[in-house]
Structure 1
Amino acid sequence: MNVSDTVHYVFLAAAACFVLGLHLMNHPRTARRGNTLSAGAMALAIAATVWLVADEGTISRTGWLVLVSGGLVGAALGLYAAREVKMTAMPQLVSLFNAVGGGAAALIAVNDLLRLENAGARTSLPGALDIVIGAVTFSGSLVAAGKLQGLVSGAPVVFPGARLLNVLLPASFVAGSIWLVLAPDSRTALYGLVVVALLFGVTLVLPIGGADMPVVIALLNAFTGSAVAMAGFVLDESALIIAGMLVSSSGGILTKLMADAMNRSIAGIMVGGFGTGDSAPAAGGTGGAPAQVRPVSADDVAVQLAYASKVVFVPGYGLAAAQAQHELGDLAKLLTDHGIDVSYAVHPVAGRMPGHMNVLLAEANVPYTQLKEMDEINPEFPQADVALVIGANDVTNPIARKPGNAISGMPILDVDKARSVVVIKRSMGHGYAGIDNELYTDPKTGMFFTDAKKGLSELKAAVGEFVG
């Protein structure tokens, strides 16, 4: 068996490991093993590719220098990002990974179409699709990362003629794709298709508000997988096709689940116009509140927690922004050691991307058995003595049960059904949907106005005095 055949079987084995690795990620107990298996399979595939290139002897000394340098730089950047990027910036990092994947896939198609002479439809058709999907993913993911990082406004960015442009641009790259299939040697069609697709990625994501960013991230992840699969067709490589379709299908399923969790259609999300960025903190503790709220102190809350039988924590992005997951974990452990039933209510869109809150709490060594999804925890709220909300806003707003507002029909955590509610928040500022939260003016809700990290540290100290 020659080297080419051996490498082909190695690629198929790697693809099988990707499938198994994805399956192992279904449960937290096996997720790390699945991630390790997938990473090992990718390393094996890269090594096999280098072996094949070396055996063919078609690469120059300069080519080897570029190949090795690119691998080292990429590995160094990946290692740095994995170890140093804060958990609060993980959604931005995922968006950048989406951009890199989509951009790399598009470049493969561009390179092959430039290199091959008289390319047939079998290459030019997937090549055109690869360029369109990959370039849209690249520019769209960069805009999404900018919105998450605050470099681009989290509010919908709409300019005159934007809707018309978002109709004309897809029509243009459909026409450009047909042109490229019919005339694969046309440089005008190739470069024009790249430019139009890049522009559409920007105009596609700009009008989408921050409230929909978790769904957009999942959708762009699916786009990345589709682009990689198309690159597999261009290169006639089954491993790329399998890996790409795994990412595409899982990303598509996740996108649908996230959209359902917000009671919004994917089409409605892509049209844009919903949600704002986080509003600026109001001046003073309760400034700007439409109705009276009840401020509470750390000692007030500590008394409730210390003498409760059941406490439900409701973490939101405010927890992540304050990097207070360890303080929350310490407080929960203190209560658990005192014999209090503790659980965490995690909404599907809590944080800024799918699974963000689960990973954040896992970093603080929170037992997975205490994490409960919305459908599981909602029936338990009426039995909870205290529901402590840390930085969550829209996903706890009872107004979602009423018609005629921006979040009508969105499934929410039934926090208002607990016997007592405490909200840790810096101000009465709005969440990403840009509307007031009726929970804050509920008579049984106490507002603890403070930074999440500072507030949870104060609560831990105060509770310790009561139970110590």
Structure 2
Amino acid sequence: MLGQGFVSAAAIAASVLFILSLGGLSNQEKAKRAVWYGIVGMGVAVFFTAFGPGIGGYGWLIPMVIIGAAAGTYLANKVEMTEMPQLVAALHSFVGLAAVFVAWSADLERRRVLAAQAADGVMQEFSAFAALVATKAPDELTFLQIEVVLGIFIGAVTFTGSVIAFGKLAGKVDGKPRQLPGGHLLNAGAAVLSLLLAVLYLNGAGFWTLILLAALAFFIGYHLIMGIGGADMPVVVSMLNSYSGWAAAAIGFTLSNDLLIVTGALVGSSGAILSYIMCKAMNRNFVNVILGGFGGSQGPAAEIEGEQVAIDASGVASALNDADSVVIVPGYGMAVAQAQSAVSDLVRKLRAAGKEVRFGIHPVAGRLPGHMNVLLAEAKVPYDIVLEMDEINDDFASTDVVIVIGSNDIVNPAAQEDPNSPIAGMPVLRVWEAKQVFICKRGQGTGYSGIENPLFYKENSRMFYGDARESLNTLLPLVD
């Protein structure tokens, strides 16, 4: 058993490692090292917490750690990068549900301590948490109850919201925004009832208040995320990440665990900041996205003129051979096809021929913040040719060829040309300004968000149909 001094020192060390991890993830070149900071930090946090003072029940604890580690290892080996967004959403749900269970357990222990003290003032068996509760003054117990309420409410919202986000990202739930009759009034009513139950609980009502509070919060999480459209799902994932952090912080206060408080606050604040940044990148109102029910049509969409014209690999290769400058815009379709290695091979071949090749990355490309950057880093694409939207948007007008691989919303001119579009005002990559645009796409579908894209019908655009990896592998031998 380790002393409290060791545990406190470990908490500081783990917190520093978590901060370094978050800071490194903002840079593509430092991302891998940053991940290791996080791994080591979490290992330190788990070890010193598990063997700290007042911790027991190792007959249960050790098997649970082994089972969890085995499940994590299995998932890490099994899950492809294309499935990472829905995996992240699923992990958020675990954090939320854990917060609910811990808060329920904390209140049951509080009631057990108070009952024993009222009976004879002595408890025969103290858990570490019960011993802590027994030393609290009445006002401190009130704060404990507030922490329990916050943990249950935020955790329950996080759980069901993350489950629905997982379903939408995995294609198991319709990506269109859907709400029950009553819309936001149902959410508001559930929130008011939750507040009423919290007041009743703080004034001595029974455990049933916490059960009903969790049920209402489960509904709010479900209904909020169901009301958010597919175009906003990257923001939703980031937002749920923030919720899971605040839930963890609330439980950290309940358990008097400084490391959990710090870690939860880091996750919560970084997730909130990232959500705000992404909303700005998509021209979305942060509060509107959080409240849900957005991403739908604002009126009749503009009619699209022209037709989609297909081109084969030889036609694309001919244009690339004649081009001096090429920009590649990757999207979720590249991830689905696992085409990043083929893209990297194409880049090396074009650069060897003396052509200028760069990447244009939209902040919300894919279904997870930074999704495309991670895939390109995995394929060993040089960091210096991967540019953000603001860095490359003005260069499209002087670009010979743009290759769009599996993108829809982030290259949709309707965002600037159609005020009734669901993505009206969203900053996009202006690929249509290039001399020629080739869109690598499986078929004529509208993409994940269900929004039609006028880019596909423009005179300088050609549709390069087929699986992205197969299409690029067909193209590679034809490029000089």
Give TM-score scaled by structure 2 length.
Answer: 0.89
1:360 aligns with 2:354: no
User: Which residue number corresponds to residue 237 of structure 1?
Assistant: 257
Task: Name 1:436's counterpart in structure 2.
Answer: 452
Which residue does 2:27 correspond to in 1? Answer: 27
Q: CA deviation at 1:80?
A: 1.8
Alignment partner of 1:450 is 2:471 = no
Contact 2:362 2:389 in 1 (8 A): yes
Distance between the aligned counterparts of 1:136 and 1:263, measured in 2?
25
The residue that corresponds to 1:316 in the other structure is 331
Give me the whole-angstrom Cα distance separating, in 1, the residues matched to 2:73 and 2:384. 30
Question: Quick check: 1:12–1:238 contact (8 Å CA) kept in 2?
Answer: no
Q: Name the counterpart of 1:72.
A: 66
Q: In structure 1, which of residues 153, 158, 163 is the aligned counterpart of residue 184 of structure 2?
A: 163
Q: Aligned residues, how many?
A: 446
Match of 1:108 in 2: 102
Aligned to 2:441: 425
Equivalence map 1:53-452=2 (5 Å): 56=54, 59=56, 63-117=57-111, 118=114, 120-183=141-204, 186-269=206-289, 270-275=291-296, 291-402=306-417, 403-452=419-468
What residue identity is the alignment partner of 1:70? M
Deviations 1:150-196 (A, max 9, x none): 1111112223234332111111111222222222x721112111211
Provide the C-alpha distance between the structure 1 equivalents of 2:23 and 2:235, rounded to a whole number of angstroms: 22
Q: CA deviation at 1:447?
A: 1.4
Give the corresponding residue for 1:282.
Answer: none
Residues 99 and 139, structure 1, Cα contact 8 Å, conserved in 2: yes
Q: How far apart are the structure 1 equivalents of 2:296 and 2:443?
A: 19
* Structure 2, unpaired ranges of 5+: 115-132, 134-140, 298-302
Alpha-carbon shift at residue 8 of structure 1 (Å): 2.2
CA RMSD, 1 decimal: 2.0
1:34, CA displacement in angstroms? 2.1
Shift of 1:436: 2.3
Contact 2:95 2:244 survives alignment (8 Å) = yes
Q: Deviations over 1:433-464 (max 9, x none)?
A: 4332121121111111222121111111211x
Query: What is the CA deviation profile of residues 393-436 of structure 1, one whole-angstrom value per residue up to 9, with x for unaligned ones?
Result: 11111121122322211101010111111111122211344332
* Cα pair 2:178 2:293 within 8 Å, conserved: no
- Check the 8 A contact 2:28/2:373 in 1, yes or no: no
Q: TM-score normalised to the size of structure 1? A: 0.91
CA-to-aligned-CA distance 1:221-277 (integer Å, 9 cap, x gap): 00011011111111122211111111111100110111111111123223314259x
Opposite residue 415 of structure 1, the aligned amino acid is V
Q: 2: distance between equivalents of 1:325 and 1:196?
A: 43
The answer to whether the Cα contact below 8 Å between 2:175 and 2:449 also exists between their aligned partners in 1 is: no
Distance of aligned partners of 1:427 and 1:9 in 2 relative to their CA distance in 1, 3 Å threshold: same
Aligned residue for 1:295, secondary structure, equals coil
Structure 1 gap ranges (5+): 277-287
Q: Which amino acid aligns with 2:245?
A: G
What secondary structure, in the 3-state scheme, does the structure 1 residue paired with 2:284 have? coil
1:314-362 residue CA offsets vs partner (Å, 9 max, x unmatched): 1111111222111111111111111111111111111111111111222
Question: Identity percentage over the alignment?
Answer: 40
